[in-house]
Amino acid sequence: MPARPQDVAALQKRPEDMTMRELARQARLLQGEPKRARLYLVQYHLRWAIPFSSLVFAFVGAPLGIQPHRRATSVGFGLSIIIIFVYYVVLTLGTALGQSGYLPPLLAGWLQNLLLLGFGVYLTLRGRR
């Protein structure tokens, strides 16, 4: 039997409440059960992707912040609310698709950052012209 009593006790925790080490261990223990292992793998990748999002937001915000023709402060505020809302929707959708098996766990965890980073690259290239 490959599972130890500590491993069985760890299965009682929700993936959201586990540490990175516990998530990785549970995913390894559940390699024979891909559906259950996906929950832990998606959460593991989200633990890396969400802190990285601050850099991605900075990459998007920099080109928006240096535009010389600012129309109004409220336009910038409204645009930031829209960007955050889109990020949250993609985060939620990616997590659900990853946990259900429609996306690989790595892509499910990083999808929102990849889309926002692509938008930031677009804004940067557009700003160069």
C-beta of residue 33 within 8 angstroms of C-beta of residue 94: no
Domain ranges within the chain, ordered by starting residue: 5-128
Confidence of residue 6 (pLDDT cuts 50, 70, 90): low
Confidence (pTM): 0.79
| Phi, psi torsion values for 35, nearest 5 degrees | -65, -45
User: CA of 129: how far to CAs of 61, 100, 125, in Å?
Assistant: 18, 42, 7
User: CA of 128: how far to CAs of 6, 55, 123, 124, in Å?
Assistant: 56, 20, 9, 6
Count of C-beta atoms within a 10 Å radius of residue 101: 12
pLDDT in tens, 27-82: 888 888 888 889 899 999 999 999 999 999 999 988 888 776 656 667 777 888 99
